[in-house]
A and B are shown apart, each in its own frame.
Chain A
């Protein structure tokens, strides 16, 4: 889930987790209307603002929070020990949260979020404050959880992470969904038929005013063009070959999610960004 600050991401999440009630509309969970009382134990939520009881011992605290999610004490202890071993945190059990570094707290928070094997995991900026090593550790665990059948809602404005991790994206702005689809499909939907052509020899720009494409920008060895409607790539290639160009590369420029984000939120078309260059 993507959206600029104040778009309503956290509010939406709080509705999904039963903290807020929607003014209108329904929340469907697992095919049935959301029932906060029972469904809440199937959800694991890690808010952006992390929080734990600072003076409480870590082991006790994890057990307590797991019990509130419906685990028995014995199950909770066993699972926590398992996770702590995996994250090399065994020695932390009797420490207090206030004695941990920010990154360590983050790991603990993640463990607490997923401890009760939630069907739906909601992570709000899960990597903020983590070093690359721990980032990867968490990322691997997220993949593993997804493979085991959990649905993961990932809320962020870090686009490169979205492209890397997500299958499906939803962009929200001012409390409304403005687009929704798989990463590939969204990119296809938002392509503006831009192509980058590389030349091995300098291609002297002659009269390029034609029916096939518009030039967005050009330099000695490359050119960005926008294909006109109902024209094929072959026609364009043919055109350049006929004009004596030696073509090095010919790539469609799919927009990055970041571009789409900015375009949708600000209404800036992609092509204009290249024009200014």
Chain B
């Protein structure tokens, strides 16, 4: 036991002290934020602002209406012009317009909806802003023609039915937040399995190619060496998570205290509060830790077995680990189904079978326990995962002890199974 602790300590410390660990731990959240704000920024700045000339034959599109529509939405500009269609078509580009629309006179006369075309000399992409502006003006005209005053307008607009699904077993669970939370946690586990799983594989390969494996196994049992490495690396991943959680907590508190005079920030904080209140955070964190560790032990054992079987050639390792990577990717596929329909049979079974349960269960849990995930499913899934990783560690340990001192040709999966069951 003392030896395993020593191995865990070494695996943990050598990794945590590496510059790359510190850099990724610090940079990942920053990059993540930059990505979110960057895409929002690019989305806003990258849009072309269309300037469209409006030739109104109905006489109802008044300057006042157009101006008020323009003031409301800056993504495009409508300009009323007073020209003949022929002259407009000839020189709208010279006058600085991206395109022009002609409002037919009969549209307003018959109150019939019409298809309005923006005519341009190039493809303008989506013109949703122009469409919504024209509709705003069009609504205004309709209201006036039908004699609906502003109070009735308000009644018309505000009296809409909103449909929200509520699971009576899980009061307060919010489907949108639950599916987003499931997506984030499931993906985090997916990344850990792939990134840290391959770290286990490369760590084992390093020991094998450096030929330190033989020195090590003359001091400790191969199984102790393998388990020590897996736990050590799991501790590294856990540390990284803990740091990120602390990071998020700090940012949340800083924005909260800084949001007093800033309405945009207050909105963000309010949303965060809504998310936190609709989720059972301690339960979620516990299950996340459980499925993360269970899934990691389950898959890391397999990666360790592969690392022990191959030589220094990364391609050999990749070709042997391909089937395992495929299963993990398949789990992500089930996750996307489970996010939308957490009680569908594929989501239920995917969250019980240990090959996919670490990822899929995380998509179902935020919807609520025991409403969406009955206790029997949760406990069956947890029990199978524990049993699964114990079996996997035993199985991989058999391959590992043979493979770690075996040099030469790359074994096939069939040969590795023979090592395990001989």
Contact = CB atoms under 8 A, between A and B. Distances in A.
A43 interface: yes
Interface stretch (A46-54, A174-182, A189-197, A255-263): A46-54
A51 B219 contact: no
Interface string A61-103: 0001101110000000000000000000000000000000000
Nearest to A124: B214
A93 B7 CA distance: 21
Contact of B214 (A36, A51, A68): A51
Interface stretch (B205-213, B229-237, B267-275, B282-290): B205-213
B218 interface: yes
A17 B14 contact: no
A252 B221 CA distance: 51
A49 B211 contact: yes
Contacts of B211: 47, 49-51
Contacts of A187: none
Given A19-B217, A40-B219, A14 B6 contact: no
Nearest to B407: A49
Interface string A23-57: 00000000000001000110101010111111110
Counting chain A CB atoms within 10 Å of each CB, the highest count among B212, B217, B219 belongs to: B219
B208 to A, nearest CB: 9
A45 B215 contact: yes
A52 B14 CA distance: 14
Nearest to A113: B215
Nearest to A13: B218
Counting chain A CB atoms within 10 Å of each CB, the highest count among B6, B14, B215, B216 belongs to: B215
Interface in A2-16: 14
B96 to A, nearest CB: 64
B31 interface: no
A233 to B, nearest CB: 50
Interface in B306-324: none
A67 B215 CA distance: 13
A54 B215 contact: no
Given A14-B405, A56-B14, A68-B6, A40 B213 contact: no
A19 B212 contact: no
A64 B218 contact: no
B88 to A, nearest CB: 73
Contact of B215 (A18, A36, A41, A65): A65
A70 to B, nearest CB: 9
Interface residues of B, number: 21
Contacts of B217: 19
A53 B212 contact: yes
Contacts of A14: 214, 405
B210 A52 contact: yes
Nearest to B215: A51
A interface, over-half SS: loop
Interface residues of A, number: 24
Contacts of A50: 211
A47 B210 contact: no
A167 B147 CA distance: 119
B405 A19 contact: yes
A19 B210 contact: no
B210 A54 contact: yes
A131 B6 CA distance: 35
A43 B215 CA distance: 11
Nearest to A56: B14
Contacts of B10: 64
A69 B213 CA distance: 15
Nearest to B225: A68
B246 interface: no
A33 B217 CA distance: 20
A55 B15 CA distance: 11
A45 B218 contact: yes
B220 interface: yes
B3 interface: yes
A43 to B, nearest CB: 7
A29 to B, nearest CB: 14
A19 B214 contact: yes
Given A56-B14, A68-B3, A68-B6, A43 B218 contact: yes
Contacts of B216: 68
B407 to A, nearest CB: 9
Given A19-B405, A40-B219, A56-B14, A67 B214 contact: no
Contacts of A45: 214-215, 218
A171 B213 CA distance: 27
B220 A68 contact: yes
Nearest to A43: B218
A52 B220 contact: no
A65 B214 CA distance: 12
Contacts of B220: 68
A54 B215 CA distance: 14
Contacts of A40: 218-219
A36 B405 CA distance: 18
Interface of B: 3, 6-7, 10, 14, 206-207, 210-222, 405
Given A14-B214, A51-B214, 13 more contacts: A19-B214, A19-B222, A36-B221, A45-B215, A47-B211, A49-B211, A50-B211, A51-B213, A52-B210, A55-B14, A64-B10, A68-B6, A68-B7
29 contacts: A14-B214, A17-B218, A19-B214, A19-B217, A41-B219, A43-B218, A45-B214, A45-B215, A47-B214, A47-B215, A47-B218, A49-B214, A51-B212, A51-B213, A51-B214, A51-B215, A52-B210, A52-B212, A52-B215, A53-B210, A53-B212, A56-B14, A64-B10, A67-B6, A68-B3, A68-B7, A68-B216, A68-B220, A112-B215
